[in-house]
Amino acid sequence: MIKNTTDSHEKLEKSIQNNSASNIPNRRSCGTMDLHRELLDQSERYARKRDEIESMTIELMSGTRMLTQREVVKIPVVVHVVWNTEEQNISDTQVKSQIDVLNRDFRALNSDKAKVPPQWRNLVSDARIEFYLAQKDPNGNPTSGITRTHTTKTSFSYEGLDQPVKSKAAGGADPWPSDRYLNIWVCQLAGGLLGYAQFPGGPPQTDGVVILHTAFGTVGTVEKPKNPFNLGRTATHEIGHWLNLYHIWGDDNRACSGSDEVNDTPNQAGSNTGKPKYPHISCNNEPNGDMFMNYMDYVDDDTMVMFTQEQVARIDACLEGPRSSFVSGQ
């Protein structure tokens, strides 16, 4: 299991600076591991639950515990648009464009998977998950699957259990039941952050994914000049975390000793950003180098294009265990 140690990625307040003129960060930044470490520090229950989930995952992936065969899982999504300016109140069309991206990426139907080098093409895997905007709210009433909340807060950050975008009382929007819906909050994030997710096992009142509005979907506010995060891959990355995937480099401060707990992703020293040239060698992983085109790295949207077989095995274990309500509820 990845330990609660200091990482080179600093806290949100010290993270990559935002380009204030366009609300477009200069490079990818994900707050999931910082949030994870804060929750480990603040909640013994979370720490115990994470240990239980990782033990179960190891048993399922090693074959010591039988994994139930499943069909395609269809996950209902509610998107909470929390806006301060009119620009942040993104359109239904922008929301729907993100759902389309997720359904291509998680089914390995994205045409840009052709960018995967030949050495790894046999590892590209269909996660057998599809997403749709919820059609009924928690009370059984018809819904568009989109909520809209006008807030006086100009941006949102987080501090462990305190995540104001997820609370109506704090200026955000309350979640729908997290065992029945994937909650996604779209808002203006502070500190140049593109998004963050909560791993399985955390408090239900904060379970879900948060995405910067200029990195959500493929139309609307993402359509800004030189925006490298305009293809909806931030949500693909963060929902990967929600389904218990770690960053591909293991978050070990470039020590080459960390792990994402899957065997078919090469060991790599740290995150890759932008558009690396293949091969990019680190941690003595030649000749093929880093699998920087993986959704769980930090590259630009047009460069991340795949999940591997063992990443999908971890997703399978997650749907067998902590996210099993999304399977049994169908």
Is position 17 within any domain?
no
Is position 20 within any domain?
no
**pLDDT tens for residues 138-167?**
999 999 999 999 999 999 999 989 999 999
Is 310 catalytic? The answer is no
Is position 231 within any domain?
yes
Is the pLDDT score of 19 beyond 70? no
Is the pLDDT score of 11 beyond 60? no
**pLDDT tens for residues 172-187?**
999 999 999 999 999 9
**Helix/strand number for the chain, H first, E second:** 6, 10
CB-hemisphere CA count at 13 Å for 238? Answer: 30
Active-site hit among 238, 261, 310, 320: 238
- Give the domain range for residue 317: 27-265+307-328
Q: How far apart are the C-alpha atoms of 50 and 196, rounded to whole Å?
A: 17
Is position 153 within any domain?
yes
Give how many domains the chain has, as a whole number: 1
**pLDDT tens for residues 251-289?**
999 999 999 999 999 999 999 999 999 999 999 999 999
Is position 142 within any domain?
yes
- CATH for 201: 3.40.390.10
pLDDT at 2: 44
Is position 36 within any domain?
yes
Is position 127 within any domain?
yes
**DSSP class of residue 208?**
S
Is position 224 within any domain?
yes
Nearest to 175, CA basis, from 142, 209, 141: 209
